[in-house]
Structure 1
Amino acid sequence: MAEPARPEVNRRTVGRGALWSLAGIGVGQGVALLTFLVTARYVSKESFGVMALSLGIAEFLKRTGIESFANAVASRVDAAADDYDACFALTLASTALMVGASLLGAEALSLAGGSAPFVDALRLAAALALSNGLWRTHEAWLARHMHFRTLAIRSIAAAAVGGAVGVAMAVRGFELWSLVGQQLATNGLSLVLLWTTTPWRPRLRVPGPALRRGLDDARHLALSALGTFFSTETDIIVASSILGVVAAGVYNAAKRLTLALHLLLTSSIQSVTLSTFANIADAEARRRAALRAMAVVAAVTMPAALGTAALARPVVEVLLGDRWLSSAPVLSALAVSIGTVSMMQFNTTIFMVGRRLPEVTRYAMLSSVLNVAVLPAAAFGGAAALACGASAVQLVVYPLATRSALRIAGIGAGPCAEAIGKPLLAAAVMALVLAAVEATGTVHGIVALAVLVPAGAAVYAALLACLSPELVRELAGLAASVLRRRRVALG
C-alpha cells in the first residue's frame, strides 16, 4: 500500500497529540495503580517479587532489542513503507532471538536446580517480549503519523481490561497467575487493537537498503538504550547494596513517585516531539519549531518539577502516608532534575531527527559512567545524598548534550537560554515561596496541597506574565487552537 501523505503539523495537531498522549499514559498508569492496590490484598509479596523481576527483564529486552528499531524509523524525516517493513522484520528477528534466549536460559536454570522464581520470571518475560515485538512497529507508525488518539484509547482499554482480568483472578485465589493474566491480557489486547486500527500492514518483501538503514540506526540506539537502562537503575542498585534494606525502601518509594511524574511529563513529550520534528522536512522550520517547543515545554515541566521539590513533604504525606515521611527529602532532591530530564528529550529528538545517532549513545553512556562513579560515594551520606548525586549527574550531562544539540540544529545559545531561562526563573521563585510557606508548618497533608498548589500556580502565572508575555500568549494560543480547532502552523 502507498505511504500516506505527511501529516499536517500545526498547533491543533501537536496540542491534541500531547493531550491524548498525556491522557493515555496518565489514565493507563492510574488504572495500573488501582489494580495494584486491589490485587495487593490478595496476592503474596513473593508473587509480586516474581512479577517485578519479570517486568524488569521484559523492559530490558524491550529497550535494547525492540525499541531501537521502532525509534529509528519513527525519527526518519524520509521514512517510507520500505522502512516500516524493514523495521517489522528486524524487530521480529530480534524478538525471536531474545525470546529464544530467555526460554533456553529458563530451561537451563530449571535443569540446574536454579531459583524457581527466576525461572518463572524468565518465561513470563519471554511472553511479554514476544507480544511487544509483534505490535511495536504498528505503534511507531501511528505515532509517526500523529494518531495519538488511537494510541491513547488503546492504552486505556488495554490497561482497563488487563486490570479487570488481574483483579478477577486475584479474588479467586490465582495468586501469581492473576498477575500473569493481567499482563498477558493487557499485551494481548494491545496487539489486537494495534493490528486492527493501523492502516499500515507489513509486507513479506523486505528491501535490502531499508534493512541496512534500520540495522545501522538501531545499532546506535540499542547502545544508548543499554546505557540509559543501567544509568536509571544504578541508584537503586547502590541504595540496596550500600544503604541497606530500610533506607533502600525509603529511596525506592520516593523514586516511584518521581518516575510517575517523569512518565507523565517526559514520555508524552518525547513521543509527540519526535513525530512532530520528523514531520517537518524543512530544517529552518524545524529550528523555529524547536525553539518554540522548548519554551512551551519548559513552561510546563519546570514548575511541575520544582513545585514537587518544594512540596515533597505534603506530597509524600498524602500519597504514601506518615510512615514514609523520611522519603520526602529524597523526593525533593530527585524532583529537581525532572525538568532537566524532560528538556533532555529535545536533545535526543534533535540528534535522532538529524541522524546524529552516535550523539545519543555518547551522552547515554556518559550519564551511565558518571552515575557509577558518583553514586556509590554519595550513598555514604544517606538516601537524600544519593538522590542529590543522581540529580547532580543529570545537571552535568544536560548542558553538555544541549551544546551539541544546539550546534546540530543551528540554534544559538542565546535564543535557547531565553526560551528556557524565563520559565525556569519564574518556577524557581515560585518554588522558593512555596518552600518558605510549607516550612512554617501552618498547613499539612491534603490541606497543604489544596491551598499551596493553586497558590503556587497563581504566583508562577503572574511571574511568567511579567517575564515573558509572549510565551503566555503562545500558551494561550496553543490552548485556543486545541479547543477551538484553529489551525496555526508551527513552522
Structure 2
Amino acid sequence: MSTRKKFASGVAWMSAGGWIEQAINFVIFAILARLLGVETFGFLAMAAAFVLISEFIVRESVSEILLTKDALSARRLNSVFWLLTVFSIALFGLLYAASGAIARFYGEARIARLIVALSVTVPMIALTAVPVALLRREMHFRVLALRAVAGVIAGGIVGIGMAVSGFGVWSLVGQRVIQVGVNIIMAWAAVSWRPGFDLSFRHIREVLYFGHRMIGLRAAELAAIQVPSVIIGAALGPTQAGLFSIAWRVVEIASFLVTTPLRMVAQPAFGTVTREGGHAAGLLMDIMRITGLIVFPAFAGLAVLAEPALIVLFGQKWAPAAPVLSIMTVFGMYLCIEKVQQTYCLAAGKVGVLALLAWCEVGLGAALIYAAVPYGLTAVSSAFLGAFLILWPLRFRNLGTIAALDAGTLARLHISPLLMASLMAGGVHLLTGQLDGQPNTMKLMLGTLTGLTIFTGLAVLGLRDRLGLLRSFTRSSAATPGGLP
C-alpha cells in the first residue's frame, strides 16, 4: 500500500474516531457545564494548568523519536519506555511537592488536593507513550480511533454519575482518571512489544539528546496555553478564569477535530517517505492546502456565531464568554496550521528551533497578558493571540529551511482561503444582524447554513484545485483496504 493511500486511510480513521469522540465529549461537557457551573470549571482550570503541562510533555516528547526516519531496535524502545517512566514519576513528585505553594498562590486551599488527585494521570499517560508511538509508526489508526472513543465514553459515564451524586469538581477529576485508564488498557492490548531491560548507553544518549529538546518544545507549548489561565485566575478570579476556560475549550475541541487526524497521520507519513528515500515536501504542500480549505471557514464561522453557539450549547450564563471566543477562533486558525507544519519538522528530527520559538512565545505572551490585565478579559485574550501572530513569520521561515521551500510560498498558500473565509464571515454577520430577537437556535442554524453556502460557492469559483485535491484523498481512503467504507 502506498504512503499516500496509508495517509488517506489513516486520516479517515482518525477523523471518524475524533469526530465521534469529540461529539460524545462535547455532549458530556455540555451536561457537566449545566450541572456544575462556571466557578467549578474555573477551579479545575486553575489546578489543571500545571498538571496538563506535565501530561503533555510526557505524552508527546521522548516517544516522538520513534516516529522519525531512523530504524527501530529493542534497545531504543526500552530506552524510551524507561526514561519516560522515571521522568513521569519525577513530575508526579514535583507536582505533589508544589501543590501547597500553588494553592497559596491562588489563595484557594482546595487547589492543592485537586492537583494531587489529577497528577496521578502523569505516570499513567507515560505507560501508553511507546505503544501509541508504535501504532502511529505502523499507521494502525483504527486501533487509536476506537481507543479514544472508548476512553471518553467510560470517563463521561463516571463524570456525570459523580456530578449527579454531588461530588462537584471531583467529578471532573474522576472523569479524567477513568478516561486515561481505559486508554492504557486498549493501547497495550493492541501491540505485541513488551518492555525489557536490554538497554545501551548509546541509545539512552540518543534518546536524551532528542528527548530534552522535545520536552522543552512541549513544555513551552503548553506553558504558552496555560499562562492566561494562571494569570487570569490569580488576577481576575475563578469566574473570569471559567469564562476563558470555556472559550478555550470550544476552540480546543474544534481544532482537535481538524488538526489531530492530519497531525497524527502526517508525521509518520513524512517519516516513511524519508526512510524510503523520497522527498516529503510535496506531501507537505498538499496537506497544507487541505488544512487551509477546512480551517479558515470553520473558525471564521465560529467567530461570528460565538454568542448563539455558547448559549445554545451551555446556557445563557456562558454568554459573557462570547467576545473571548471570537478572539480565540483566530488562535484556532493559527494552531491548526502550525501543528500540521510542525509535524514535518519533527519527522525530520529538527526540534531545536521549534523549541526556541515556542519559549519566545511564552515570554512574549506572559508580558503582553500581564500588561493587558487592567483592561479586562477581552484585552487579555487579544494580548495572548498577539504573541503568536507576531512570531508566526519565523515559524514559516524555519519550515521553509527544513523543507527546502520558500517561506513566502508557504505563507501565500493560505491567502486565498483566508480571504474567502473573511467574506463568508461578513455575510453571516449581516444575516445574524437581521435576526435580533429571534431564538439563538435559529441564529445558529441559519448562520451555519449561510456560511456553508457562501464559502462553497466561493471555493468552487476560486479554489477548484484544492477541492480536487480533497476529493483525490477521499477516493484514496475509500479505495484502501482497511479504510472506512
TM-score bracket, normalised by the shorter chain, equals 0.7 to 0.9
Q: Is the contact between residue 39 and residue 239 of structure 2 (CA under 8 Å) also seen in structure 1?
A: no
Q: Is the contact between residue 426 and residue 460 of structure 1 (CA under 8 Å) also seen in structure 2?
A: yes
Cα distance in 1 for partners of 2:108, 2:447 equals 49
1:28 paired with 2:31, answer no
Q: Secondary structure at the match of 1:285?
A: coil
Shift of 1:470: 1.5
Cα distance 1:427–1:419, how it changes in 2: closer, same or farther (>3 A)?
same
Letter in 2 for 1:234: V
Q: Is the contact between residue 139 and residue 194 of structure 1 (CA under 8 Å) also seen in structure 2?
A: yes
Specify the alignment match of 2:243 in structure 1. 250
Cα distance 1:479–1:165, how it changes in 2: closer, same or farther (>3 A)?
same
Specify the alignment match of 2:273 in structure 1. 280
Shift of 1:81: 4.2
Greater shift after overlay, 234-243 or 426-435? 234-243
1:394 paired with 2:388, answer yes
Specify the alignment match of 2:189 in structure 1. 196
2:259 to 238, 256, 266: 266
Cα distance in 2 for partners of 1:188, 1:378 equals 40
Letter in 2 for 1:408: I
Cα distance in 2 for partners of 1:428, 1:463 equals 11
Specify the alignment match of 2:233 in structure 1. 240
1:215 to 204, 208, 215: 208
Shift of 1:403: 1.1
1:480 paired with 2:448, answer no
Shift of 1:80: 4.3
Cα distance 1:257–1:167, how it changes in 2: closer, same or farther (>3 A)?
closer
Shift of 1:153: 0.6
Letter in 2 for 1:350: Y
Specify the alignment match of 1:4 in structure 2. none
Cα distance 1:311–1:469, how it changes in 2: closer, same or farther (>3 A)?
same
Q: Secondary structure at the match of 1:380?
A: helix
Q: Secondary structure at the match of 2:375?
A: coil
1:145 paired with 2:138, answer yes
Cα distance 1:118–1:415, how it changes in 2: closer, same or farther (>3 A)?
closer
Among all aligned residue pairs of Structure 1 and Structure 2, give the percentage whose two residues are the same amino acid.
23
Cα distance in 1 for partners of 2:40, 2:308 equals 31
Q: Secondary structure at the match of 1:279?
A: helix
Shift of 1:367: 0.8
The Cα offsets for residues 282-317 of structure 1, whole Å up to 9 and x where unpaired, read as 675301110111101111111111121122232223
The Cα offsets for residues 378-435 of structure 1, whole Å up to 9 and x where unpaired, read as 3333322222222222222222111111121011245424432222222222122222
Greater shift after overlay, 367-376 or 389-398? 389-398
Cα distance 1:393–1:57, how it changes in 2: closer, same or farther (>3 A)?
closer
Cα distance 1:251–1:36, how it changes in 2: closer, same or farther (>3 A)?
closer
Specify the alignment match of 2:91 in structure 1. 98
1:346 to 329, 340, 363: 340
1:83 paired with 2:110, answer no
Shift of 1:54: 5.6
The Cα offsets for residues 35-90 of structure 1, whole Å up to 9 and x where unpaired, read as 45556787799987776566444322222345311223224454444432221121
Cα distance 1:259–1:91, how it changes in 2: closer, same or farther (>3 A)?
same
Cα distance in 1 for partners of 2:263, 2:471 equals 22
Q: Is the contact between residue 66 and residue 94 of structure 1 (CA under 8 Å) also seen in structure 2?
A: no
1:452 paired with 2:444, answer no
1:462 paired with 2:452, answer no
Cα distance in 2 for partners of 1:439, 1:44 equals 29
Cα distance in 1 for partners of 2:326, 2:85 equals 42
Q: Is the contact between residue 42 and residue 245 of structure 2 (CA under 8 Å) also seen in structure 1?
A: no
Q: How does 1:127-138 map to 2 (within 5 A)?
A: 127-138=120-131
Specify the alignment match of 1:309 in structure 2. 303
Cα distance 1:172–1:343, how it changes in 2: closer, same or farther (>3 A)?
closer
Cα distance in 2 for partners of 1:454, 1:127 equals 44
Cα distance 1:181–1:440, how it changes in 2: closer, same or farther (>3 A)?
closer
Greater shift after overlay, 294-303 or 343-352? 343-352
Greater shift after overlay, 150-159 or 46-55? 46-55
The Cα offsets for residues 432-489 of structure 1, whole Å up to 9 and x where unpaired, read as 22222223335552212222212212221221222232211111112222234399xx
Q: Is the contact between residue 12 and residue 477 of structure 2 (CA under 8 Å) also seen in structure 1?
A: no
Q: Is the contact between residue 41 and residue 245 of structure 2 (CA under 8 Å) also seen in structure 1?
A: no
Letter in 1 for 2:55: K
Cα distance 1:386–1:49, how it changes in 2: closer, same or farther (>3 A)?
closer
Greater shift after overlay, 280-289 or 128-137? 280-289
Cα distance 1:299–1:68, how it changes in 2: closer, same or farther (>3 A)?
same
List runs of 5+ in structure 2 lacking aligned partners.
none
Q: Is the contact between residue 41 and residue 242 of structure 2 (CA under 8 Å) also seen in structure 1?
A: no
Cα distance 1:435–1:50, how it changes in 2: closer, same or farther (>3 A)?
closer
Pairs aligned (count): 478
1:163 paired with 2:163, answer no
Cα distance 1:23–1:96, how it changes in 2: closer, same or farther (>3 A)?
same
Cα distance 1:45–1:207, how it changes in 2: closer, same or farther (>3 A)?
same
Cα distance in 2 for partners of 1:206, 1:222 equals 21
Greater shift after overlay, 50-59 or 336-345? 50-59
Shift of 1:227: 1.6
Q: How does 1:433-444 map to 2 (within 5 A)?
A: 433-441=427-435, 444=439
Cα distance in 1 for partners of 2:319, 2:176 equals 32
List runs of 5+ in structure 1 lacking aligned partners.
1-6
Greater shift after overlay, 385-394 or 35-44? 35-44
Cα distance in 2 for partners of 1:324, 1:105 equals 32
Q: Is the contact between residue 341 and residue 394 of structure 1 (CA under 8 Å) also seen in structure 2?
A: no
Specify the alignment match of 2:424 in structure 1. 430
Q: Secondary structure at the match of 2:454?
A: helix
Cα distance in 1 for partners of 2:441, 2:164 equals 31
Cα distance 1:448–1:108, how it changes in 2: closer, same or farther (>3 A)?
closer
Cα distance in 2 for partners of 1:52, 1:369 equals 21
